[in-house]
Structure 1
Amino acid sequence: MKKLINGVESVEEQMILGLVKSAPDKLRKLDEGNVVVRAQKKEGKVALVSGGGSGHEPAHGGFVGEGMLDAAVAGAVFTSPTPDKIFAGIQAVATDKGVLCVVKNYTGDVMNFEMAIDMAKDEDIEADYVVVNDDVAVKDSLYTTGRRGVAGTVLVHKIAGAKAEQGASLPEVKAVAEKVIANVRTMGMAISPCTVPAAGKPGFELAEDEVEIGIGIHGEPGTTREKLSTADETAKKLLDKILADIDFKGQEVVVMVNGMGATPLMELYVINNFVQDYLKEQGVKVYDTMVGNYMTSIEMAGFSLTLLRLDDEMKALYDAKADTPALKR
């Protein structure tokens, strides 16, 4: 295993410290756990909290800042943060308007966030949550009941965060988050695995000419393992599954071409070249496109495609100001 780390036991904390030191005027780390919060606490508006296992950078700490998250809680690599650490994040950013937690649909994440919200309520903090389940690849997995939460989570952060910034109530922020969840779909693939530092070896094996279609962001198995084909053919397989899930025809969409950590931008732009042309052929109108690393899987090579079907409210909130280390608008 080759990693640019100082030790398996310190990688998550040093990663969070490095993130905070990259934007010390915007971010700070809590003393308790690997929790990133805004340097200047937001008051009088709903606070947004998210998080999950480390290894998905820039998610989630990179999306803390104006217009998006108020706190992000990082667990060990691919491991949900514990309820006490999540509660510490909630407690640090809670306002009199309440807290909304954005949770990816993995059993450990949902359970631990629910426990943390109960702890918050015991302290008279108004708190609620939504569960993101945008992955169309598989209905159930070793980690979930129902669909997994993947890169579409970033768009929930963006749009719900903008709604909160406007001063909306907790039920209003939750409603728009749920609207994004209902209209966002994602599917991914991998051409090579990643290595969790504590494991010291790749999470799975692929032959030189093999790819895994429908992969999860923790290296969970996908729907099929098949021979490597062209970028266009691979992107078409993912898009066809997404387009078959809900009706995007005639709709305006945000497109996210998301790298899994080790995929060069060159290849992501090659994929986007096809995606744009194919969506046009299918009668889908592209409102905006995001290309880059947003929800990764350490150094996995591969990509995911996300489509968000917009209405006027979501479009305006998507366009609203955001100022975070990983996303600015």
Structure 2
Amino acid sequence: MKKIINDPANVVEEMVRGMTKVYPQYIKKIPNTTAMIRSDEKSMKNKVGIVSGGGSGHEPAHAGYIGKGMLTAAVAGQVFTSPTPDQIYEAIKLSDHGKGVFLIIKNYSGDVMNFEMAKDMAEMDGIKVKSIVIDDDIAVENSLYTQGRRGVAGTVFMHKILGAAADQGVNLDEIEELAQKVLPHINTIAVALSAATVPEVGKPGFELADDEIEYGVGIHSEPGYRREKIKPSKGLVKELLGKIDESLHLDANKKYAILINGMGATPLMEQFIFSNDVYEELAERNIKPVFAKVGNYMTSIDMAGISLTILEIEDEKWLEYLNYPVKTIAW
């Protein structure tokens, strides 16, 4: 294992210190935690706080999306491990500015349990808290760490849409309703060329031969649905887009936003080649995306691979929220 670290046991703490030192205009560390919050959180007065988080190793998620127009706070657990309820609770308390807090939770057993516990603790303090559990990964119905589908890169679209709504003064009940409407329209699927290596483990989560790929892997190196010989980018796009089409029923009369996401070790050159093939494949269906992002948005440490997320734009307001200006590290 070759990594630019000091002590594998201190990776998250040192990462948080580094992020907050480099970007004090956006984020600051919540004392005695590895959670981070907007440096200008006072400007959230009379607005709903939006909090997310999860295990570290998915950077820039989630702290990279803290700031005006997106998240109020993000809680960083240990690598691929849910943050503890007490840390989430501290983030909720500091994110409440009189209008309540909304939690965006990826569908992993530990995250769901710990965020729900923190929610209960906050409600005992009189803080209004609502939440959504993101399950956008269509690759497998159940995985090693979930009941139901996993929450992956499509979570970032939820950060963006709900964050914009909150910044415009939408109330807590309306944000919950918006989240519930958006969620079924987000589909994601990934392919891996190699697995992630957790620093404290020191070896990849699974082994692929030099000429192998695996479809449907999760962001913690969870297994996918099929392993086969590597294909050109066009072949990968046909597989992933085909799976999304089966689920979302792509329609030339509808509008779509896409997120092409590098898993951590995939060069932007390859991401843009893949993007070109996605656009060409969609054009054959007479579809031109109305919104697109390409880059590393929800990674898996050093996994080589890519994920494709498609959001069906059911309401023009959603597109307005996607284009709403933000001040964050990573969007």
Aligned pair partner of 2:206 in 204, 207, 214: 204
> Is residue 26 from structure 1 mapped to residue 26 from structure 2 by the alignment?
yes
Counterpart amino acid of 2:158?
V
User: Deviation digits for residues 244-294 of structure 1, max 9, x if unmatched?
Assistant: 102231211111110000000000000001100111111323102111000
Counterpart amino acid of 2:45?
E
CA root-mean-square deviation: 0.8
**Residue in 1 that maps onto 2:60:** 58
**Residue in 2 that maps onto 1:324:** 328
Classify the secondary structure of the residue corresponding to 2:193: strand
Classify the secondary structure of the residue corresponding to 1:28: strand
Classify the secondary structure of the residue corresponding to 1:245: helix
For structure 2, the residue ranges without an aligned partner over 5 or more in a row are none
- The answer to whether the Cα contact below 8 Å between 1:32 and 1:88 also exists between their aligned partners in 2 is no
> Is residue 152 from structure 1 mapped to residue 154 from structure 2 by the alignment?
yes
Counterpart amino acid of 1:224?
R
- Aligned-residue offset at 1:82: 0.6
Counterpart amino acid of 2:188?
T
Counterpart amino acid of 2:13?
E
1:215-234 equivalences under 5 Å are: 215-234=217-236
**Residue in 1 that maps onto 2:106:** 104
Q: Distance in 2 between matches of 1:5 and 1:272?
A: 32
Classify the secondary structure of the residue corresponding to 1:325: coil
Q: Distance in 2 between matches of 1:177 and 1:32?
A: 31
Aligned pair partner of 2:261 in 258, 261, 272: 258
1:135-284 equivalences under 5 Å are: 135-249=137-251, 250-284=253-287
275-284 vs 105-114, which moves further: 275-284
Aligned residues: 327
Identity, % of aligned positions = 50
Classify the secondary structure of the residue corresponding to 1:49: strand
**Residue in 2 that maps onto 1:68:** 70
**Residue in 2 that maps onto 1:4:** 4
Counterpart amino acid of 1:38?
R
**Residue in 2 that maps onto 1:312:** 316
Q: Distance in 2 between matches of 1:293 and 1:257?
A: 8
Which aligned runs of 4 or more in structure 1 are off by greater than 6 angstroms? none
- The answer to whether the Cα contact below 8 Å between 1:83 and 1:113 also exists between their aligned partners in 2 is yes
Aligned pair partner of 2:48 in 46, 49, 54: 46
- The answer to whether the Cα contact below 8 Å between 2:279 and 2:288 also exists between their aligned partners in 1 is no
Counterpart amino acid of 1:191?
L
1:64-143 equivalences under 5 Å are: 64-143=66-145
- The answer to whether the Cα contact below 8 Å between 1:251 and 1:285 also exists between their aligned partners in 2 is no
- Aligned-residue offset at 1:44: 0.5
**Residue in 1 that maps onto 2:298:** 295
- The answer to whether the Cα contact below 8 Å between 1:155 and 1:180 also exists between their aligned partners in 2 is no
Q: Distance in 2 between matches of 1:100 and 1:52?
A: 15
Classify the secondary structure of the residue corresponding to 1:31: coil
TM-score, normalised with respect to structure 1? 0.98
User: Deviation digits for residues 40-99 of structure 1, max 9, x if unmatched?
Assistant: 111100000000000000000000000000000000000000111100110111121100
- Aligned-residue offset at 1:143: 0.6
Q: Distance in 2 between matches of 1:283 and 1:109?
A: 39
Q: Distance in 2 between matches of 1:22 and 1:291?
A: 24
- Aligned-residue offset at 1:115: 0.4
Classify the secondary structure of the residue corresponding to 2:202: coil
